Structures are given as structure tokens and as C-alpha cells.
Amino acid sequence: MRIAINGMGRIGRLLFKKIRRAGKYEIVAVNDIMPPENLAYLLKYDSIYGTFEEEVSYKDGNLQVGKDKIRVYHEHDPEKLPWKENDVDVVLECCGKFLDRASAGKHLKAGAKKVLLSTTGKDDIPLKVFGFNQNGDVPGFDILSPGGCMTNCSTHIIYLLNSIGIENGMINILHSFTSRQALVDSSHNQFRRGRAASESIIPVDIDLCTALDRLFPSLAGKLNASSTRVPVANGAYASFFVTLKSEISESALKDLFRKSAETEYKNILQYTEEPLVSLDIKGNTHSCIVDGTEIKVLGKMVRVSAWFDNEYGFTSRMLDWLDYWFK
């Protein structure tokens, strides 16, 4: 399977390195508007995950990665990219701008066979969370959204809680700061996002509930979600405050998540009772790590908390989708 990556930000670069390490698929091209010399530098050096083990350089329109040459393009319009010429099977759409079928479909017009977004797309793009709803018709889709890191963390937890029955619930996600925030106070259309990310705890708007409503139509209007950015560079901690339709004991709730982590959600959901902090989940490949020490029950009200590496866990699910399509 021949892969192209459009957008070489945090997710695009991490996918690039994980695909190279796995050795299953061939990356034939990347596209980004940043200077290619800067791209090569950022592929090599990463402040979160460390230095890439392969040598990386740029020369004459190509990334030299180890012994391989990979074409680099600098094109704003996906329809103008030479995907047909490069015989591209799947484009990993990682720039975050092309979220509906018309715009993401430009990759198909350019000659790619399939497009996998790196976030939640608009309503006209199927939303499929790996391990939850990758049903039989998925291989036929030519454009697919796997959700985002928060959606992938939340979906399996909401599903398991709803197996008991959810009356309503609130979700809050403590999330590391991202590139859409400012290093120092500056102008932003969301005023709080313009404040210095390393100096404050900052509430931000998220669209998690829009995605969950699509995945769980019977719960539409019963869930609300918020996110608070905290001054760390990686990792997230989600808390689900839910009123259930019937009571459950704390031990039974722990058993529900423990057994699910060992069976149907193995490799996607992890359960732990270790006293973790956010740094401990850096590089964890699971969509969520349910913290059994933080499961609390008060009558029909429960709190379930989970950790996740907002970059490494989510990109692991994108690789799962590549494997699923390939098979």
C-alpha cells in the first residue's frame, strides 16, 4: 500500500515515523507548505518523543530518509497534487483544513484511491471509530473520518457505561496545550486561546459532543463536554460524570472496564490501578487508559477517569485503519 501524507504537523510527522518503523507500507510523498528543510529538521528532532533513529535530509525535491527518497510537494490545492502519477493508494489528510467531502475529495480527483482524515470531519464524511463501528461496509468507503483523540478516548467508555444505561452525563478533558494556542499573549478569535499556554489553565471550546451524538443517536442531547488546556506538552486526562439508569457497585464498574480491556477492547482500552501521572502515558498506544483508582460511585452517579496520549494513541488507531483497509 502506497501512502501520501498531506500536512506534516504533529500528527503527520508522527504517522510518518510510525509507518516507517512498522515497515508494512511505503510512504511515497508528503505535502506541506512549510520550507522543506524545516520539515526535514522537524522530522529528525522532536521535543516530545525524541530524535528519530533514521537519518533525514532534504535535497532536490526529495526527503532522504535512510536509504529511501520520498517526494516533497509544496501545494495548497490538493487537486493539483500528482497522486495519480505517484500511484497513491491512501492519503492521510493531516492538515486539518479539508473536512468535508468536497474538499477532501480533491485528493480523489488528483488520483488517490482513499482518504483518511486525522480528525472528525463534517456530516457528509462517515465517522468510524476503530474498535467501535468498523463494520462491513467500511472497506468500500473512499473517504473516512476516524474521529479525533478525544472521540477515540470517549467512545468506548460511553458505550460501556451505556450498556448499563445513561440518563445524562458531563465530560471534562484536561488536555495538553496544542499548536492552536499561543506561546505568549496574542490575538485570537477565541480570546482564551490567545493567552500564553504555558502560564495558565485555559478552557477551550470543543466539538466532542457533536461527534458523540453522531455515534450514539439515542444519547443525543444527554451528554455535554468541555476541555481545559493545562501547561504540559503531552497527555490528557478525561473525567466522565454520568448518571446511570440503575445503580452499580464500584467493584462491578471496575470489573466492567477491566474485563473489556482484556477481551473485546484489547489493544484499544487499557485498565490500570497503578498511581499514574500524565507523563507515564507518553507513547502509550491505547485510545484510553481507564484509571481504576479514580472510579467513584455515589448511588446512580459515577465518575470514570481515563488517561490518553493525545498524539500517540490516536495515531495508533489511524494505523489500525490502514491495516484494516489493507486486509
Active site positions, annotated: 149
92, 118 contact by CB (below 8 A): yes
223, 171 contact by CB (below 8 A): yes
Q: Which residues pair with residue 6 across a beta bridge?
A: 31, 93
Secondary structure class of 302 (helix, strand, coil): strand
Rounded Cα–Cα distance for residues 120 and 153 (Å): 13
Would residue 235 be called left, alpha or beta, if left means φ above 0 and alpha means ψ between -120 and 50 degrees?
left
SS (HEC) of 22-76 = HCCCEEEEEECCCCHHHHHHHHHCCCCCCCCCCCEEEECCEEEECCEEEEEECCC
